Structure 1
Amino acid sequence: MMLMPARRASATAAPTSWSQLPHGEWLKEELSHALAPHCAKIFGYYLARVGHLSKSLEMPELRVRHQFSAAKTEGADIQTDLEYWPFAEGVLDGVMMIGQLEFERDPHQVLREISRSLIADGHLILAGFNPLSPATITGLWPSNMSKPPWSGRYFSKARINDWLSLLNFEIVGCGYVAPTMMIPKTASANFGLKHVSRFIPQVGAMYYVVARKREFPLTVVRNKQRAKPPVNALPLANRVKSPDVEPK
């Protein structure tokens, strides 16, 4: 199966609030509950919440002193281009990106910027919309194709893991959450998929990946030359007698 290039001509407007998504508040609670055990292990001084969905995700388990939001549109603490953002190299202890990568022009470049700004052993918390979920069928309806989240470009969790491994990230946690068809008129968000998700987790509308940036030092390994043993230490049979040179 041939994958389409991740980069495209232009970016798409990302959702600015959970209320834009069908059963958005339920999605937020499901994701927050799944990420809680992983966030409890993350601590530090600075954490960037990328995108408006990340900004409003309540994660009291995060033990990071200073948390701020970053997005391309107004309403964030820092308004910036995510492909070339203003953070120096190795200054962030963590980055959280929720439902944002699907709407970027060049997701590879966005991940490179995140990797550059993270310290060694810094954490990336990334969540996106699952292309294997039955909720993608709802997006085929003509009136939904131009609405988030279906207006974005979906990437599978396996593909995200491959990208992160190329950037020397170690996957410390991942999974699927929120099994739903994303039909706003249904009374139940699960719509009968809760029991199915116990056996087929891939029906979850969202996936999450928790990764840690690893840096391996490059140490030059030199080939040690074997020291020549002294002549006296050689066996008598191995000694070579120098020929006598007669003076001219």
Structure 2
Amino acid sequence: MMLMPARRASAATAPTSWLQLPHGEWMRAELSKALAPHCAKVFGYYFARVGQLAKSVELPDLRVQHQFSAALTGEANIRTDLEYWPFAEGVLDAIMMIGQLEFERDPHQVLRELSRSLIADGHIILAGFNPLSPAIMTGVWPANVKKLPWCGRYFSKARINDWLALLNFEIIDSGYVAPTMMFSKTASASVGLTHVSRFIPQVGAMYYIVARKREFPLTVIRHKQRAKPHVNAVPLANRIKSPDMEPK
């Protein structure tokens, strides 16, 4: 199966609120619950919430002194194009981006920029819409093709893992959350998929990835020179014989 190029001609409009998604508040709560155990291990001084959806995800156990939001549009502490990330190299302790990569023009470049600004052993938390979920079928309906989140370009969790591996990230944990068909008119968000997700996790409408940036120092290994064998330069015939060795 040939994968479609990740880069597109122009960026699409990303969701600015969970209320724009069918059962969005329920999905946000499910994602917060899944990320909570991992966020307790994230600590430092600066934590960037990238995109409007990341801004409202509750992470009560996060041990970071300063948090701020960054997005191109909408209300954010920093207004920026993610392809031209305005932070210096190695200044952020952790970054969380949710439901944003699918709508970027060049997702590879965005990940490179985020990685550049992270310190060594810094954390990145990503969440996106799962193309393996039954919710993808809802987006095939003609009335939904241009609606959120189906107007974005879906990437599988495995594909994102590969991109992170190329940037020297170690995957700490990953999984699927919020099993739903994303029918806005249904009273139940999961429509019976919660039981199915215990056996088939891929029915979750969203995936999440928690990764850590690794930097391996380059150490020069000096090879020891082998000792040359000692060779007597005097020919054997010309060597002075000891008197004790003379024949009697």
TM interval, shorter chain, is: over 0.9
CA distance, structure 2, for counterparts of residue 147 and residue 69 of structure 1: 24
Query: Match for 2:182: what amino acid?
Result: M
Please give the secondary structure, in 2, of the residue aligned with 1:139: helix
- The count of residues paired between Structure 1 and Structure 2 equals 237
Q: 1:163 — aligned with what?
A: 163
Please give the secondary structure, in 1, of the residue aligned with 2:49: strand
Please give the secondary structure, in 2, of the residue aligned with 1:94: strand
CA distance, structure 1, for counterparts of residue 191 and residue 225 of structure 2: 71
Provide the aligned C-alpha RMSD in A.
1.3
Superposition pairs of residues 60-75 of structure 1, within 5 angstroms: 60-75=60-75
Matched, 1:42 2:35: no
Q: 2:246 — aligned with what?
A: none
Q: 1:118 — aligned with what?
A: 118
Q: 2:196 — aligned with what?
A: 196
* TM-score of the aligned structures, taking structure 2 as reference length: 0.93
Please list the CA deviations of residues 145-172 of structure 1 after superposition, one character each: whole Å capped at 9, or x if unmatched. 1111101000000000000000000000
Query: Cα distance, 1:15 vs. partner?
Result: 0.2
Q: 2:85 — aligned with what?
A: 85
Matched, 1:108 2:101: no
Query: Cα distance, 1:138 vs. partner?
Result: 0.6
The structure having more radius of gyration, on CA atoms, is 2
Q: 1:28 — aligned with what?
A: 28
- Relative to structure 2, which stretch is displaced further, 116-125 or 138-147? 138-147
Please list the CA deviations of residues 5-32 of structure 1 after superposition, one character each: whole Å capped at 9, or x if unmatched. 1001000000000000000000000000
Please list the CA deviations of residues 66-115 of structure 1 after superposition, one character each: whole Å capped at 9, or x if unmatched. 00000010311000010011100000000000000000000000000011
Query: Match for 1:54: what amino acid?
Result: A
CA distance, structure 2, for counterparts of residue 100 and residue 74 of structure 1: 13
Q: 1:225 — aligned with what?
A: 225
Q: Which runs of 5+ in 2 are unaligned?
A: 239-248
Query: Match for 1:118: what amino acid?
Result: L
Please give the secondary structure, in 2, of the residue aligned with 1:217: coil
Q: 2:242 — aligned with what?
A: none
CA distance, structure 2, for counterparts of residue 90 and residue 158 of structure 1: 26
CA distance, structure 2, for counterparts of residue 153 and residue 241 of structure 1: 81
Q: 2:144 — aligned with what?
A: 144
CA distance, structure 2, for counterparts of residue 99 and residue 67 of structure 1: 19
